[in-house]
Structure 1
């Protein structure tokens, strides 16, 4: 669908073009920003990850102003990547937008074509089959491990672990009951303790990873989200530490461990009663 000849400049299009123009100016060798000019696709990776997490945090908070602000920061990262690529004629923002538009149309034949579906599961299956075909694979040539390896490469570790464990369970690679998972957890803790007696950091790291993976499986068995669980624990820790700071009249280093623990317990009680 080509509407380039009779496009109506809607407020959305105007706003997007203004942002694209601003980013181009920031990257201009003549009068641009030194910081923006020295950025590369690789140096911007940490910002992409950070902004994505900040969007998630804003959505969870329900703060509409924060959501708008953080979505803008994430959009900036997309446009910056496209701008940098366009400067060396690799690809443009138009190609990025056209590519995702075509992908959405292609992967929704039940909306833009004549395919009929009767459930969300059928939509998901069609999506996966079309995706595999796009990557030159078919259900016969696409190995299960190749699917899982993409999760490991492309998702944050905790999210990847949950996805991998769910997919493995779907094909029967699963414990008979949750007691088996607990037994595995105890086994891995023992192996981790044993590894810590030595000096092989790589081995210690591997054993720590095994414990975390079993914990993720435990979360799956109890229908819990380890990502959310850890995020909430981080927030609780900071809230309690803030209360401890409020109660302190001198640096932490001047308190004994017993004194700090007492302040910590008091902070927990105060927050629990809110």
Structure 2
């Protein structure tokens, strides 16, 4: 058994080294790929986000081949970023790997040390305490709630950031007494958005739209619903209905009137509901 484990370990390292070598060749000024050579850490950031979402989608599908492929695409982004950093003598992939390995060891003293834990919650609390200690004594400014929330707003996708921000604010008491207050806020923001559309500038309309969306996400939080999952489900249902419409249609959808499209939509919706 030990021989097979060592063999698998060696094969994994060899495969990673092959990927590193391939990426280095793509970035080589001599015979490399013009597209890869033109990339910077900044131009690659959209691909990091895109590949991460594609990994999540593959995991949801349960397709092991798709999961492996998408994880490979995401790993490529890590190796590419490290390769570019190496070229500029900033850091290497070795430092990236060593850094995360050491972080995991430090933050799991119940696995790599003598600490005992009795629950997942204790693990989480220890993680946060160790994380805070690693960053040194926090300054008064960094301890402020606004500083923590600003960090979420900068680093997370908007829907996720809003949920985090509202959860943390609620935890310190900045919260409605009951769900009725949340619904009142939603209706208030809806009226203000409608008023802005009729009387205000585009900038003010944009601001009011943001306030309305924020209030919708507060409803999601109170009802323990995931807004990202909800919106993704709606997107999928819309596409499924559109596919059915195209299946029912005998000509391009652009050739249909609005009334005819509505009829096709209802037909597709009814068909999918039966299914």
Kindly indicate whether the alpha-carbon contact (under 8 Å) linking 1:240 and 1:264 is maintained by their aligned counterparts in 2: yes
Per the alignment, do residues 172 and 191 of structure 1 end up closer, same or farther by CA in structure 2, a change over 3 Å counting? same
Name whichever of 28-37 and 190-199 sits farther off. Answer: 190-199
Determine whether 1:107 maps to 2:145.
no
Per the alignment, do residues 137 and 164 of structure 1 end up closer, same or farther by CA in structure 2, a change over 3 Å counting? farther
Could you report, residue by residue, the CA deviation over 1:185-211 in whole angstroms, capped at 9, with x for unpaired residues? Answer: 000001111111235222211111111
Q: What's 2:64 paired with?
A: 64
Q: What's 1:179 paired with?
A: 180
Q: What's 1:243 paired with?
A: 244
Name whichever of 67-76 and 204-213 sits farther off. Answer: 204-213
Q: Aligned to 2:43, what secondary structure does the other structure show? A: coil
Q: What's 2:195 paired with?
A: 194
TM-score by length of 2: 0.93
Distance (Å, rounded) in 1 between the aligned partners of 2:260 and 2:136 = 63
* 1:156, distance to aligned residue in structure 2 (A): 0.7
Kindly indicate whether the alpha-carbon contact (under 8 Å) linking 1:184 and 1:214 is maintained by their aligned counterparts in 2: yes
Q: Aligned to 2:203, what secondary structure does the other structure show? A: helix
Distance (Å, rounded) in 1 between the aligned partners of 2:269 and 2:46 = 33
Distance (Å, rounded) in 2 between the aligned partners of 1:208 and 1:72 = 38
Could you report, residue by residue, the CA deviation over 1:201-257 in whole angstroms, capped at 9, with x for unpaired residues? Answer: 222111111111111111111111000000111111111111111222223232111
Per the alignment, do residues 139 and 121 of structure 1 end up closer, same or farther by CA in structure 2, a change over 3 Å counting? farther
Could you report, residue by residue, the CA deviation over 1:99-130 in whole angstroms, capped at 9, with x for unpaired residues? Answer: 11111111112222222222222221221222
Distance (Å, rounded) in 2 between the aligned partners of 1:267 and 1:163 = 37
Q: Aligned to 2:89, what secondary structure does the other structure show? A: coil
Kindly indicate whether the alpha-carbon contact (under 8 Å) linking 1:132 and 1:142 is maintained by their aligned counterparts in 2: no
Q: What's 1:156 paired with?
A: 157
Distance (Å, rounded) in 2 between the aligned partners of 1:8 and 1:267 = 50
Q: What's 1:270 paired with?
A: 271
Matched residue pairs, number? 269
Q: What's 1:75 paired with?
A: 75
Kindly indicate whether the alpha-carbon contact (under 8 Å) linking 1:132 and 1:139 is maintained by their aligned counterparts in 2: no
Per the alignment, do residues 188 and 199 of structure 1 end up closer, same or farther by CA in structure 2, a change over 3 Å counting? closer
Per the alignment, do residues 235 and 30 of structure 1 end up closer, same or farther by CA in structure 2, a change over 3 Å counting? same
Q: What's 2:39 paired with?
A: 39
Q: What's 2:4 paired with?
A: none
Name whichever of 137-146 and 256-265 sits farther off. Answer: 137-146
CA RMSD, aligned part only? Answer: 1.9
Q: Aligned to 1:245, what secondary structure does the other structure show? A: helix
Q: What's 1:97 paired with?
A: 97
Q: What's 1:86 paired with?
A: 86
Determine whether 1:225 maps to 2:226.
yes
Q: Aligned to 1:176, what secondary structure does the other structure show? A: coil
* 1:9, distance to aligned residue in structure 2 (A): 5.6
Q: Structure 2: any 5+ residue segments left out of the alignment?
A: 1-6
TM-score by length of 1: 0.93
* 1:139, distance to aligned residue in structure 2 (A): 9.1
Kindly indicate whether the alpha-carbon contact (under 8 Å) linking 1:107 and 1:131 is maintained by their aligned counterparts in 2: yes
Q: Aligned to 1:44, what secondary structure does the other structure show? A: helix
Q: Aligned to 1:43, what secondary structure does the other structure show? A: helix
Q: What's 2:255 paired with?
A: 254
